[in-house]
A and B are shown apart, each in its own frame.
Chain A
Amino acid sequence: MINQASMQSSRFRSLTSLRTTLTAAFVVLSVLPVAAAVFFSSQRIQAQSQAQVNTLLDAAAQNKLDTIQNWIAGSQQTLRIALAHEDDVIEMTDFLSFHKDDEAARAAVTKNLTDLLAKQQDFVSLFVYDLNGEIVAATDPVDVGKFTKTAPYFEGSLVADSVHPPFYNVGSSDLNLIFTRQIIDEQGKLVGVMAGRANPNTLAAFMAQRAGLGETGETYLVSLESNYFLTPSRFEGFPQRRSYHSEGINRSLAGEDGLASYVGYRDVPVIGVYRWLPDLQVGLMVEEDQAEAYAALQQTQRANLIAAVVAALISVIAGSVLAIRIVRPIGALTRVTQALAAGDLTQRAAIQARNEIGDLGIAFNQMASQLGETLQSLEKSVQEARVATAMAREANRLKSEFLSTMSHELRTPLNAIIGFTEIMMAGMSGPMSEKQQHKMSRIHLNSKRLLDLINDLLDLAKIEAGRVDVLYEPFAPRDLAHGIRAQMESLAEQRGLGLVVRVDPQLPTVLLGDAGRIEQATKNLLSNAIKFTKEGSVELALHANGGDVWEIVVTDSGIGIPPHALEYIFDEFRQVDGTSQRAYGGSGLGLAITRNLSRIMGGDIRVTSTVGQGSTFTITLPVSLPEELEAVA
Chain B
Amino acid sequence: MPTYNLYMGCSVPANYPNYEAAMLKVAEALGMELNYMEGVACCGSPNLRAIDYYGWLLVNARTLAIAEQNHHDIVTPCNGCFGSLKDVLYHLKHHKEDMERINASLKKDGLQLTGRVRVRHIVEAMYTDVGIDEIRKKITKPLDGVGISIHFGCHLLRPVDVTEFKPEILQQMVEVTGAKVVDYPLWKQCCGATVLPVNEPLAIRLARDKIKSMKEAGAQFATVVCPACGNQLDLQQLGLKQSYNETYDLPVLLYPQILGLAMGMSRDAMGLGMNRVAADSILDHLKG
Are A and B part of the same complex?
no
Point out residues on A near B: beta carbons under 8 Å.
none
